[in-house]
Structure 1
Amino acid sequence: MKSNFHSDLFKEKQLTPLLDFYYEKHLNQYTFRRVSNLKQQRHGIDLILEHKTSKNLFYVDEKAQLDYVNESLPTFAFELFYQKKGHQKQGWLFDVSKKTHFYALVTSIYSDEEKMFTSCNITFVNREKLIGHLFGLGLTEEYLTRVAHNNKDTHGKLVLERLHPKKDGYLFFSTSNKAEKPINLILRLEFLSAIGVAKRLI
């Protein structure tokens, strides 16, 4: 098993012009600037939005489904845990060191021309509201940590009694096919919109 880290970085650079085009066109009340500072990026900041009137700043972490180009998935994977050098690490969803206000979920990424992405969907998710809603369902960091630990040898889908697996989401363990062995909370995009934590930009 090998990591897709370098391949994903290359694809992210290819994707950036398309994302910036959409931001320019659809983020009418905001100006934006990309973050190149590695320290800020490690804190979950790829983009800084500034409201044109209030001047409030919002930190955005872009998450793109680059493993599924030319596919349209109804779900998105929120990282709970991953492994590095044999040790389990905390994923980005509950990581308190992240300063992210919004996730920009980039889905339905299509490449009609070689080495060029031509269209995608972008859904903004309010991180604080999402975590708050999960907490209200009893899906706290502590609960999900316990479930992950008790099922650490699992591979594939694990149904959570607090989520409808077909309408809301489920846990997914990628223990045998990915180097980082991530454990993800898979949530449907329609579910995120229905509970009021997400809004589709394009």
Structure 2
Amino acid sequence: MKSKFKADLSKEQHLAPLLNLYYQKHLKRYSFQRFVDLEQQLLGIDLILTNKKDGATYFVDEKAQLDYINESLPTFAFELFYSKKGIQKEGWLFDVSKKTHFYALVTSIFSDEKNLFTSCNITFVNREKLIQHLTGLGLHQERFQEIATKHNGHHGKLGLEKLHPWHEGYLFFSTQNKAEQPVNLILKLDYLIAIGVAKRLV
């Protein structure tokens, strides 16, 4: 697991310059400061955006689909729960210790024959608006906990009453193929944009 963690960290570091270029080009109203220290990242902060006009600051957590290089997926996985030493832990979406205002979802990451990242898509998701929308559907933290407990040991896709599995989203339990056994909420990027909680940057 450590080697995979280091490999992912290396990929993130190599991806950062491309993301910085996109931010500079498409977020001209903002200055940004990138963090690389673990303490800030554990709080869900990879960079701080500062509005040049009014000084307002926003904490951004970058989430990149680094397991799917040179692929374009229409969905993104939001972590609800994971297991550590056999104990279920809270995932980053509802974790109150996270200070994240926005998720920068990095998808459709492409690289060339030299393994240099050449392009990607970035979708900004307002965390508070997303949680409010889910809560309005009755999909709050406690409800997800009830579902996870009821389906403990389940592996694979699980539909939700309030979300269309093809057009909106569903749950996915990775109990057999991942050490941390995450329970993820899989949401369509187009759905997030359509309901007004996300915007495509590039």
Tell me which interval the TM-score lies in, with the shorter structure as reference length.
Answer: over 0.9
Alignment of 1:99-138 (within 5 A): 99-138=99-138
> Could you tell me which residue of structure 2 aligns to residue 33 of structure 1?
33
The unaligned stretches of length 5 or more in structure 2 are none
Deviation, 1:93, is 0.1
Query: What is the Cα-based RMSD across aligned positions, in Å?
Result: 0.9
> Could you tell me which residue of structure 2 aligns to residue 197 of structure 1?
197
The unaligned stretches of length 5 or more in structure 1 are none
Q: Alignment identity in percent?
A: 67
The CA deviation string for residues 112-133 of structure 1, in whole angstroms up to 9 with x for no partner, is: 1323111000000000000000
Matched AA of 1:134: L
> Could you tell me which residue of structure 2 aligns to residue 63 of structure 1?
63
| Aligned mates of 1:113, 1:48 — CA distance in 2 | 32
Does residue 86 of the first structure (1) align with residue 86 of the second (2)? yes
User: 1:14, 1:115 within 8 Å by CA — same for their partners in 2?
Assistant: no
With normalisation by structure 1, the TM-score equals 0.97
Deviation, 1:7, is 1.6
Deviation, 1:38, is 2.1
Deviation, 1:85, is 1.3
Deviation, 1:86, is 1.4
> Could you tell me which residue of structure 1 aligns to residue 9 of structure 2?
9
User: 1:62, 1:106 within 8 Å by CA — same for their partners in 2?
Assistant: yes
| Aligned mates of 1:10, 1:151 — CA distance in 2 | 35
| Aligned mates of 2:106, 2:61 — CA distance in 1 | 11
User: 1:46, 1:62 within 8 Å by CA — same for their partners in 2?
Assistant: yes
The CA deviation string for residues 78-122 of structure 1, in whole angstroms up to 9 with x for no partner, is: 000111111111100000000000000000000113231110000
> Could you tell me which residue of structure 2 aligns to residue 148 of structure 1?
148
With normalisation by structure 2, the TM-score equals 0.97
> Could you tell me which residue of structure 2 aligns to residue 165 of structure 1?
165
After TM superposition, what 4+ stretches of structure 1 lie above 6 angstroms from structure 2?
Answer: none
